[in-house]
């Protein structure tokens, strides 16, 4: 059996960090060997630093691992980062500069021109940016790959097969986002009980900008953003996990509801061909029931890695409308990053630390 790659988790005690630990337990390619978090947690064993909030017990293998500062060196070859964006930039760059592969959830580098904003099903060819990144940043064997914001990922995935077949000109997306998207403890209970909050800091801007980068094409070693207009409005709702978006699209070529449904449900891509461990067999599941998708019923589809789309109908202002839903801490965060790392291994893209 091949030796597992040793990985570290930055922000290991948080909402996304705990998901990483859960998803990496018994992973066939990765073994968690290092953890890092804030100075509140540093120096403690993981079980003492982390209030475990996922169902089931904290995996035995990480209980006694010490929590370190998020700075190199750490005993690993690759770091998954779920640090707050304010600290991510310095920490992630330091790891990449020290020769580590950095697979980040945070927004710090997502929109940098030389950093892939990767969804393996959608834009695996954007990994070509790593060559530019190595040159422009003078990285000696390390690199940074990011995954999108938790709402962007489901929008970009739902748009990708529609854009490929019919061309998307305009998009209007209205989100209803789960509480776990705000980390722990997140939104105060008295602010969200019996309520909807129509503001999530920088979320609308992220959805609009990231979608264009993800759906853009490689041209002369850079990503040329997709030529569509995207408008997003984001809301926090009283749901624990699972972000939903009501989406309207204007297309460049004529289509029927059945055509959209077929484009979405038949869509397969490189992760499915390569049978990557975290890749769902069906990246987009189309539900025909009139009242689906729903967060409680659909967020765990494809072990949390499938996007569920329903209510595809003609729209009297744009061409079509539909509702998309995905698990925000799995496909929207930790699962997305793990899938990115699996793709890098499959493509034989390794950091310098792997050679040690």
CA dihedral 236, 240, 241, 242 (to 10 degrees): -50
Q: Annotated catalytic, 150? A: yes
Task: Figure out which of the listed residues 22, 180, 326, 340 binds ligand NAP, where binding follows CB under 6 A.
Answer: 180
Residue in 8, 17, 310, 335 binding ligand NAP, rule: CB under 6 A: 17
Could you say which of 50, 76, 150, 234 is catalytic?
150
Q: How many CB atoms lie within 10 A of CB 86?
A: 9
| Angle, helices 152-166/257-265, rounded to nearest 10 degrees | 120
Q: Are strands 30-36 and 67-68 parallel, antiparallel or unpaired?
A: parallel
Q: Mark whether 243 is an active-site residue.
A: yes
Q: Which residue has the tokens 């996922």?
A: 54
Among 8, 14, 116, 271, binds ligand NAP (CB under 6 A): 14
Smallest separation (angstroms) from ligand NAP to the CB of 14: 2
CB of 80 to ligand NAP, least distance (A): 10
What is the number of other CB atoms lying within 10 angstroms of the CB of residue 33? 18
Contact 17, 65 (CB under 8 A): no
Contact between 115 and 84 under an 8 Å Cβ cutoff? The reply is no
183 binds ligand NAP (CB under 6 A): yes
- In terms of CB distance, is 154 or 249 closer to ligand NAP? 154
Q: Which is nearer to ligand NAP, 14 or 310 (CB)?
A: 14
Identify whether the C-beta of residue 49 lies closer than 8 Å to the C-beta of residue 38: no
The answer to whether 172 contacts ligand NAP (rule: CB under 6 A) is: no
CB closer to ligand NAP out of 282 and 328: 328
Residue 242 in the binding site for ligand NAP (CB under 6 A): no
Residues comprising the chain, all counted: 356
Could you give the count of Cα atoms lying within 13 Å of 106 in the half-sphere of its Cβ?
A: 24
Is 328 one of the binding residues for ligand NAP (CB under 6 A)?
yes
Site string for ligand NAP, 70-109 (x = CB under 6 A): x-----------xxxx-x-----------------xxx--
Note whether 16 binds ligand NAP by CB under 6 A.
Answer: yes
Pick the closer one to ligand NAP by CB: 41 or 162. Answer: 41
Which position among 126, 163, 243, 327 bears the catalytic label?
243
The answer to whether residue 52 forms part of the interface with ligand NAP (CB under 6 A) is no
Q: According to the binding rule CB under 6 A, does residue 41 interact with ligand NAP? A: yes
Spatial distance between the Cα atoms of 76 and 57, rounded to a whole number of angstroms: 24
3-state secondary structure of 238: coil
Q: Quick check: 339 binds ligand NAP (CB under 6 A)? A: no
Quick note: the x/- pattern for ligand NAP over 139-168, rule CB under 6 A, is -----------x------------------
Give start and end residues of each alpha helix (H) in the chain: 15-24, 46-49, 60-63, 85-97, 120-123, 129-137, 152-166, 189-192, 203-214, 257-265, 270-273, 295-298, 335-346
Cα distances from 199 to residues 7, 52, 204, 214, in angstroms, run 35, 28, 9, 24
Shortest distance in whole angstroms from residue 3 CB to ligand NAP: 28
Q: Which residue's beta carbon is nearest to the bound ligand NAP?
A: 14
In the complex, the residues that contact ligand NAP under the rule CB under 6 A are 11-17, 37-38, 40-41, 70, 82-85, 87, 105-107, 150, 180-181, 183-184, 328-329, 332-333
Q: Which residues are catalytic?
A: 150, 243
């Amino acid at each position: 059996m091949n030796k597992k790659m040793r990985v570290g988790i930055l922000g290991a005690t948080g909402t996304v960090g705990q998901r990483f630990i859960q998803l990496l337990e018994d992973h066939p390619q990765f073994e968690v060997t290092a953890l890092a978090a804030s100075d509140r947690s540093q120096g403690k064993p993981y079980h003492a630093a982390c209030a475990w909030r996922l169902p089931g017990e904290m995996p035995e293998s990480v209980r006694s691992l010490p929590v370190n500062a998020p700075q190199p060196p750490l005993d690993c070859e690759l770091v998954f980062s779920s640090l707050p964006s304010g600290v991510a930039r310095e920490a992630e760059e330091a790891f990449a500069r020290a020769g580590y592969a950095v697979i980040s959830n945070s927004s710090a580098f997502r929109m940098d021109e030389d950093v892939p904003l990767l969804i393996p099903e959608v834009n695996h060819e954007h990994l070509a940016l790593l060559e530019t990144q190595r040159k422009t940043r003078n990285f000696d064997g390390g690199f940074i790959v990011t995954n999108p914001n938790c709402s962007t990922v489901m929008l970009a995935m739902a748009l990708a097969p529609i854009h490929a077949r019919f061309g998307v000109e305009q998009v209007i997306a209205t989100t209803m986002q789960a509480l776990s998207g705000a980390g722990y403890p997140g939104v105060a209970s008295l602010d969200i009980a019996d309520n909807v909050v129509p503001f999530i800091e920088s979320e609308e801007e992220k959805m609009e900008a990231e979608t264009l980068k993800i759906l853009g094409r490689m041209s002369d070693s850079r990503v040329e953003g997709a030529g569509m207009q995207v408008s997003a409005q984001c809301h926090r709702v009283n749901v624990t996990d699972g972000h939903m978006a009501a989406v309207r699209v204007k297309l460049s070529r004529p289509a029927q509801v059945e055509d959209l449904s077929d484009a979405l449900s038949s869509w397969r891509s490189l992760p499915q061909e390569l049978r990557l461990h975290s890749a769902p067999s069906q990246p987009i599941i189309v539900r025909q029931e009139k009242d689906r998708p729903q967060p409680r019923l659909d967020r765990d589809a494809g072990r949390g890695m499938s996007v569920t789309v329903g209510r595809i109908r003609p729209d009297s202002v744009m061409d079509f409308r539909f509702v998309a839903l995905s698990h925000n801490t799995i496909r929207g965060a930790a699962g997305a990053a793990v899938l990115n790392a699996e793709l890098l291994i499959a493509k034989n893209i390794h950091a310098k630390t792997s050679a040690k």
